[in-house]
Amino acid sequence: MITLIFFLFVACPEPPNTKPQLADCPVGQSPCEDDSTACCWDTTSHNFVWEIDTLGEYGSYLRDVAIVDENNIWVVGNIETDSGEYNAAHWDGSEWELMGIYSNTLDLYSIKYFSEDDIWVTSHCFPYHWDGNDWTRYHLNDMGMEGVCAGNEIWSNLSSNIYFVGFEGSIVHYDGSSFTKIESDTNINLQDINGTDEIIYITGYNVDNNGHSIALVNETGIWETDYYSESLFPTNLDLGILGRMYSTFSFMDTTYIIGKGGIMKLSISDKIETIVPSNLSFVEGRVPVIIRGNNYNDIVWIDIWGEIVHFNGVSWKLLQDVYNSYPNGQMRIRSMDYINGIFVGVGSVFVPQEKALIILGKQVD
């Protein structure tokens, strides 16, 4: 009897496990399904807690912001007060300190922060640098770059590799010791620049009836036109024509360009284009200002009137808490930064009178 039982046990083993082995996913990703061999990005929270601050009096506005961390935030623009005029402010976690950079009456357009003794800002046309002791102006027109006006935006991955972009196709590069004018072969106003160590994109457009817009790319050390549009609205999304292209953001292997036709995702490695249509990305009926993100599953963009859209890895969600505080054109957004779940948008609020506007957002579970 004992021998028979042993024989049956050996002759009738358990059927083999034919289920596929679950994917071994990197940090931030999980198997797409319970039995999936593929990895998908985890979703991030659509939930934010918002605060709205104002600075200055009538005539005040802000144009750009740089987040270091939640207790170290810099904003630049023009701030009018009863005691005088300022062009910057610093948040230390508890209050805003008004500042005058180079000259208190100098309107500032953009800012890039590397460290407490390495900060760049721009006026309408020229860069200014803080070395820990003094602010230095670099008058590009007096440095052999006649007609250059590159104050709209700054991008850099290193303090020795800085790009400044601006009006009528102006691009200037700083290598840590000298400035060089870069030929863009366009007279379109360049509005935004963003990139990675491998690729950099610039977007620009002219605010006129023809809607001319451009996206420039630098992947090989040479700036080239990647997309060009002569219309405000898209004419053929199948060809990646978004109409007016407002802003760009790059993370690892993907570049995002937001335009009238939606949001284009460009895979850098395999050159595949995917377009999130304007109705799904909430671009339809809105005027985007800037798009930024922390990861593939944590991207935000904001429109000119304060409506904010967040992508959590699966879905785009329209966030209207800020807009509802000052609806129907009562605010004007000019820029935004988003780092590690901290969101700061800047611009102007017009009610009850024009003041500089700061939108502070913190992502929560």
Beta bridge partners of 183: none
Helix and strand element counts for the chain (H, E): 3, 30
Q: How many residues does the chain have?
A: 365
Does residue 86 sit in helix, strand or coil? strand
Domain regions of the chain by residue span: 51-102+289-365
What pLDDT, on a 0 to 100 scale, did the predictor assign at position 209? 62
CB within 8 Å of 3: residues ≥ 6 apart: none
What pLDDT, on a 0 to 100 scale, did the predictor assign at position 40? 75
What pLDDT, on a 0 to 100 scale, did the predictor assign at position 5? 45
Does residue 168 sit in helix, strand or coil? helix
Beta bridge partners of 310: 300, 317
Task: List the 48-55 sheet strands across, edge first.
Answer: 48-55, 355-363, 342-349, 331-339
**CA angle in degrees (0–180, nearest 5) for 221-223-227:** 135
The enclosing H or E element of 9 equals: helix 2-11
Sequential pLDDT tens for the chain (365 residues)? 444 444 444 455 555 555 556 667 866 677 777 666 777 778 999 999 999 999 999 999 999 999 999 999 999 999 999 999 999 999 999 999 999 999 999 999 999 999 999 999 999 999 999 999 999 999 999 999 999 999 999 999 999 999 999 999 999 999 999 999 999 999 999 999 999 999 999 999 998 766 789 999 999 889 999 999 988 888 776 666 799 999 999 999 999 999 999 999 999 888 899 999 999 999 999 999 999 999 999 999 999 999 999 999 999 999 999 999 999 999 999 999 999 999 999 999 998 889 999 999 999 99
What pLDDT, on a 0 to 100 scale, did the predictor assign at position 8? 43
Neighbour count for residue 189 (Cβ, 10 Å) = 21
Task: List the 262-267 sheet strands across, edge first.
Answer: 245-251, 254-259, 262-267, 273-277
What pLDDT, on a 0 to 100 scale, did the predictor assign at position 13? 57
